[in-house]
Each structure stands twice: as structure tokens, then as C-alpha cells.
Structure 1
Amino acid sequence: MPVITLFSGSYCNEKQIIEEIASRTGYRQLTDPDIVAEASRLSSIPENKIVRVFSEKVSVFNRLTHERERSLAYLRLALSSLLAEDEMIISGFAGQLIPKDISHVLRVCLIADMTSRVATAEKELNVSSSEANKIIHKDDVQCAAWMHMLHDVYDPWSTSLYDVTLPTDKTSVEAIAMTIQESIANPVFKLVGRSQSAVADFSIAANVEIALVKKGHTVGVEVTDGLVTLIINKHVLRLNHLEDELKEIALQVPGVTAVETKVGPGYYQTDVYRRQDFEAPSKILLVDDEKKYVQTLSKRLMMRELDSAVVYDGESALSLAEEDEPDVMILDLRMPGIDGIEVLRQVKQNRPGIEVIVLTSQGSEDDKKTCMELGAFAFLSKSVDIEELSKTIKAAKEKIEQARTAQKVN
């Protein structure tokens, strides 16, 4: 028996349709939270961070942490383990990660025209037509961004993406469920032969992605009958060296029979491939209104394998602390608007796990006392040697890691 994936526009009666299909078929229902929970269990990445991959907004730190790529790899691994079974309804974003060559999956799109969706949203949310339009538009933008990332298609409801597209405003719940029930009776939707091999390859690909990203590498991964193809999409000066390293990692993954590499179209662009060192602090935020100084500092830290993001005011620092939660914040004391002391106060109150290093040219002994009492990790002068600053950042990271290890034990 097949697996059914459902991708629905908001306010298209998805819940009732899924319940009717489940009632008729006896299929188990799985949603994004179920698959995210399994990916979190496999990876130890918090669920709230994994679920962010479905959003079009990418963390400012992602180029440093590859958290999005790791989350996607573990979502694929969670899905691959599920696909070894059948008789499931997978609804939501995660199901769209299943490759097209897994043929025992019936891919269903549920959509209605905008007038119907707006009317439904008005009724369910008790909002105006204008507000309902805005809510649905926001949902559709997220759907479009997800499908474009996965399939390079801008229209999330394009018939090219699905086996069946059903208009929920023109067809009853019962008729839709019956159409799907009849579709899955087709012998083509069976977990046998090529589809079974494709599931195995999907699992291998996910495990290869995870093995690579754990070592700081992000490359494309394709698998056919155990043969792994690694696609390098950023230019690298020592291509042969990188290829050998990637192959060595991939060959250690169970099920891999051989590994080859190739360069993708992105290889010839100006971006340069960099392996991420996960031993170094990965989420450093520099906060200083002196743009030239802080940009220079960022470059000097990068030379020491300490990549960072930069903001120029306290308001932006607090916003990023809430949304992306850096590991270490290096904070100027005197800034227009919200000053460094107030940023420190709010960060330690709301996100105490962030270690804050105050870096200032104007701080007094009273300022130092206040900052340390508020929970600053260190209070340094801007004239501090860059090596000393680097050591302080790494010490702050060690404190964070010790706290996380203690939390896991408890």
C-alpha cells in the first residue's frame, strides 16, 4: 500500500479531508510536528530550531552554523525511516522532502480559489476580508518559498509537483477522499522494486549529508543504488584535496558502495567554499555603532576562524538575541538609543545562556562593576590584543558547552 502526502493551501478544509481519508483507509496520520519531533530525537537539535527550516527567513548565523542544512538532513532521515513502512498520510511541509523517484508515494495538492479561502478565514478567525487576505497571502508566500527551495518552482500549487490536484471549494470532502482512495488502488503505488531501492537511497543520502555536515561540509548529495555523487557548488582552491576529504567521509556511511564528485553550476561563481569548524564558537554577534571599527574587528576575528554577524545598534541586537540567540555577544557600551548596559540587562534577563563580552573604549570602573553584576562574561577595552579577545571568546564558548553538557546529564 502507498504513502499519501498532502500539501494544502491554508483554509482549504485540510483537516476534515485528512480525517475522511484516514477513516476510509485506516491509514496512520503524520504531521510536521510528528516528523520534526523524530528529527529532533535523532539529532538532539531542539524542535523549535528544526521547524524554522519551513520558514522563508534564514538565520543570520546560518552561514556559520549550517543549522538549516543539518535540520533538513535530519528531517530527511526521519522521513526515510518512516518510508520503510506504508499506509500513512503525511501532511504539511516535511512530506515535500520525499524525492520524486520514490514512486509508491501519492502526492496530493489541496487548493481552493481565493474567494473561498478568504470567506473561510473570515468565518474561522472572525476577521475582516482585508485581514483574511493578508493572512492567506503570508501563508502562500511561505509555501512558495519552500517549494522554490526544494523544486525551483515559484508556484506552490503547480500541477507539475503533484500526482493529483483537487479543488476543495468545488468538490465535497467525501468525493475528494474517494478520488484519493481510488488512486492508491493503482498497482503503481506499491513499496516494491525501484521504489523500495529509492527509499534505501534516500536513507543513505540523508546519512551522508549528516556525516558531511558534522564535519563542517555542505555539498549536494545524490544516491543511486548506493553510488553517491557529491556536488560541489562553491569554488575551492584545492579541489582535489576537498574531493578526497569528502569521499573519505562518505565512504564510511553504511550502504555506500562508491563515491564520485562533480562540480555544480554554482562552482563557477565568485563565492568560495569554506569548511565550517564546529569546535570554534559558531554564533558570535558583534554590536557596535562604529561601523568601520566593528567591520574591521569582524575581519580580524575571521582570520582566526571566528566568524561573526554584525549589527550597529542595541535595538537590532535585542531583536537578534530573541530570534537567533547567538552564543557570544561582543557589546559596545556607548551607543545611541538603547545603550550597552541596557542591552546586557535585557539579554541576561531574557536569554541568560548568551555570554556577553563588553568591549568598550569609554567604560569606567563603575561601568565594569555594573556590567559584571548584570552577568557579563568579561569587560574589556577596545585596545585589547586580538589574541586575548579570541581567547576570551573561546573561554565563553567553553562555559556555554559545559552548561549544555550539565543540562543533558540532568
Structure 2
Amino acid sequence: MPVITVFSGSYCNEKQIVQEIASRTGYRKLTDEDIVAEASRLSGIPENKIVRVFSDKVSVFNRLTRERERSLAYLRMALATYLAEDALIIGGFAGQLIPTDISHVLRICLIADMTFRVATAEKELKISSSEANKIVHRDDVQFAAWVHMLHGVYDPWSPSLYDICLPTDKTSLEDIAMTIEQTIANPVFKLAGPSRSAVDDFMIAANVEIALVKKGHDVTVEVKDGLVTLTINKHVLRLSRLEEELKEIALTVPGATAVETKVGPGYYQTDVYRRQDFDVPSKILLVDDEKKYVQTLSKRLMMRELDSAVVYDGESALNLVNQEDEPDVMILDLRMPGIDGIEVLRRVKETHPAIEVIVLTSQGSEADKKTCMELGAFAFLSKSVDIEELSKTIKAAKEKIHQTRTETKSG
């Protein structure tokens, strides 16, 4: 029996349509919430972090943590696990992750005219037409970003992505369900040998992605009949050495019979491939209004394999923390316009005490140092401090974080 995926514009009556299809076919319904929960169970990554991948907003720390790539890999693994079954209806974003060579999947798009969607949102949410219009347009931006990331297509409703596109404002619920019911009766959507093999390859690819990202690597993974192809899209100085390491990791995955590597178009751009070292603090945030100084500091730390993100004022730092995009270690200037460093420190330690804050200032007094240490700063340093000493302090903060997390888990 086939699998049905449903990707729908917001306020296009998706829930009612999926329910009607399920009632007629007896197929099991799966939502994004179900697949995220399974990915969380498999990975140990909190659900609220995995679900972020569906958003068009990427964490400022993602290039340091590879959290988005890890979440995507575990979502694919969760999907592959479910696809071991058939007779499924998968609604939402996650269904877009299923490769096109899995041929027993009927891909459906539900969409409606903007006026219909806005009117539906206005009625359901009991809001004004202008507010409803903003919500629907915001949703479409998110849908477009998701589809473009996966398929390179800017139009999330492009017919090239689906087997059937159905206008829910012009077609009755019964007619939509009947069309789908008739379509899945076509033998082309039967779970046959090639499609089953493609599901197996999908699972192997997910496991290879996970194995690689755990070692700090970021490459594109494709699998066909057990042959793993790894595409390197960033320039690397010792390509052959990287290829050997990637192959060695991929071949540890069950089902990977052989591995080949190649370079993609991005390899010839200016970006440089860097393996992420997860033994150092993965999320360091530099907060300083002196742009030239903090950008130079970030580069000097990178040379010591301490990569970081940068913001230029206290408000931006607090916004990151409050949006659950918090760092592990914060390097904080004391004197900044607007919200100063002492107030940032106070608020951070009140709401997120696990963040280790290193105050780095050129204007701090002994009284400032006393205040900061009482508020919970990990260290209070002068901007004239040697870069090696700062690096050691950051690593000491990392060690404290690691020890605290270990004690929490064991407790």
C-alpha cells in the first residue's frame, strides 16, 4: 500500500481533508509533531530544538553546533523508520524530506487563493483582515524557505514537487478525498522492490549523515543501492586526507557497501571547510559595541579553534538568550550604550544561570569586578589580557559546563 504526504498552505482546511482521507482509507496519520517526537527520542535532542529546522530562522550558532544538520538527519531517520510501514498519511513539513526515488509515495499539495486563506484565518483566529493577511504571508515565507532549502525551488506550491495539486477553495472535501482515493489505487504507487530499496538507502543515508555530523563534518550524502556518495562543498587544503576520513566514518554504517567522494560547485568558492571540534565550547558569544575590536578578537579565537558568534549590544545578546538561542559561554564587554554589561550579566544569570559569563573590559574598576563576581561572572578580565590567557579561561569555563552537565545527568 502507498504512503500519502500532504503539504498544505496555512488555512487551506488541511486537518479536515487529512481526516477525511484517513476515514476513507484507514491509513495511519502522522504529523510533524509525531516525527519530531521520534527524532527527539532517537537523538536525545529536545523537541523544541528539532522543530526549529522548519523555521526560516537559523541559529547564529548553527555553524558552530551543526544543530540544524543533526536535527535534519534525525528527522530523516525517524521518517525512514516509519516508512518501513506503509498505509501512512504524513502531513506537514517533514514529508518534504522523503526522496523522490521512493516511488510508492503520493505527494499532494493543498492550496487556495489568498483571499480565501485570509478570510479563513480571520474567522478562525478572530482577528482583523490586515492581521490575518500578515500571518498568512509570514507562513508562506516559512514554507518557501523550507522548500527552497530542500529542493532549490522558490515556489512552495510548484507542481514539479507534487503528484497532485488540489485547490481547496474550489473543490469540495468529498471530491478531494475521492480523487486521492482513486489515485492511490494506481499500481504505480505500490510498495515494490525498487521503492523498498530506496527506503533502505534513505535509512543508510540518514545514519551516515548522523555518523559524520557527530564527528563535526558537514557534507552532502546520497545513497544508491548501498553505494554512498559524499559531496564536499567547501574548499579544504588537504582534500585526500579529508576524503579518507569521511570514507572511514561512512563505512562503519551498516548497509554502506562502498563510499565515493566528489567535490561540488561550492568547493570552488571562498568558504573553507572546517571540521567542528565538539570538545571545545560549541557556542561562544562575543558581546561588544567596538566592532573592529570584537571582529578581530573573533578571528584570533578562531585561530585557536574557538569559533564564536558576535553581537554588538546588550539588547541583542539578551534577545538571543530569551529566544532560546543561548550560548554556552558569553564574553561580555562592560561599557556599552543602552543596556550595559552589568545589567546583561544580571539578567542572564537570573534567567539562564548555566551560561558562563566572562567579563572582558578596558574600563572596569575593582568595585565593578566585585559586583560582577557577586552576580555570578566566571571571570573578570582586562581587554589587555593575553589571547592565550583568554583562551585558557574560555576552556576552563567549558570544563565547568561539562562537569555540571555530567553531574546533572548522573544525579
The one-character-per-residue Cα deviations of 1:143-202 (angstroms, maximum 9, x if unpaired) are 001000111111101111001111111111111111111111111212221000000000
TM-score (norm 2): 0.98
SS in 2 for 1:188: helix
Distance of 2:354 and 2:314 partners within structure 1: 18
Spell out, residue by residue over 1:84-121, the C-alpha distance to the aligned partner (whole angstroms, 9 max, x if none): 00111111001100000001111111111111111111
Point out where structure 2 has 5 or more consecutive residues left out of the alignment. Answer: none
Q: Does 1:78 align with 2:89?
A: no
Contact 1:108 1:165 in 2 (8 A): yes
Task: State the partner residue of 2:183.
Answer: 183
Q: Distance in 1 between matches of 2:406 and 2:280?
A: 16
2:381 corresponds to 1:361:
no
Q: Give the corresponding residue for 2:238.
A: 238
Q: Is the 8 A contact 1:322 1:351 kept in 2?
A: no
Other-structure match for 1:92 = 92
In 1: Cα distance, 2:114 partner to 2:139 partner: 12
Q: C-alpha distance in 1, partners of 2:155/2:354? A: 41
- Report the counterpart of residue 256 of structure 2 in structure 1: 256
1:346 partnered with 2:375:
no
Mapped partners of 1:406, 1:99: distance in 2 = 41
CA deviation string 1:298-336 (max 9, x = no partner): 111111100111111111111122231111000011111
**2:310 is the alignment partner of 1:333:** no
TM-fit CA distance, 1:346: 0.8
For normalisation by structure 1, the TM-score amounts to 0.98
For 1:409 and 1:35, locate their aligned partners in 2 and report how far apart those are by CA, in whole Å. 28
Match of 2:383 in 1: 382
SS at match of 2:187: coil
CA distance in structure 2 between the aligned counterparts of 1:143 and 1:108, rounded to whole angstroms: 15
Do residues 121 (structure 1) and 121 (structure 2) align? yes
- Residues 214-238 of structure 1 show CA distances to partners (whole Å, capped at 9, x for unaligned) of 1111001110000000001111111
Aligned residue number for residue 290 of structure 2? 290
- CA positional deviation for 1:264: 0.6
Which amino acid is the alignment partner of residue 213 of structure 1?
Answer: V
2:141 corresponds in structure 1 to 141
2: CA distance, partners of 1:213 / 1:117: 40
Deviation at 1:405, TM superposition (A): 2.6
Matched AA of 2:49: K
- Quick one: which amino acid aligns to residue 163 of structure 2? D
Q: 5+ residue gaps in structure 1?
A: none
Alignment coverage as a number of residue pairs: 410
| CA shift for structure 1 position 401 | 2.0
Name whichever of 289-298 and 28-37 sits farther off.
289-298
- SS state of the match for residue 189, structure 2? coil
Q: Is the 8 A contact 1:7 1:93 kept in 2?
A: yes
Q: In the alignment, does 2:406 pair up with 1:405?
A: yes
> Where has structure 1 moved over 3 Å in runs of 4 or more?
none
Structure 1 distance, partners of 2:408, 2:92, is: 32
* Aligned equivalent of 2:224: 224
Q: Output the CA distance in 1 between the equivalents of 2:196 and 2:409.
A: 37
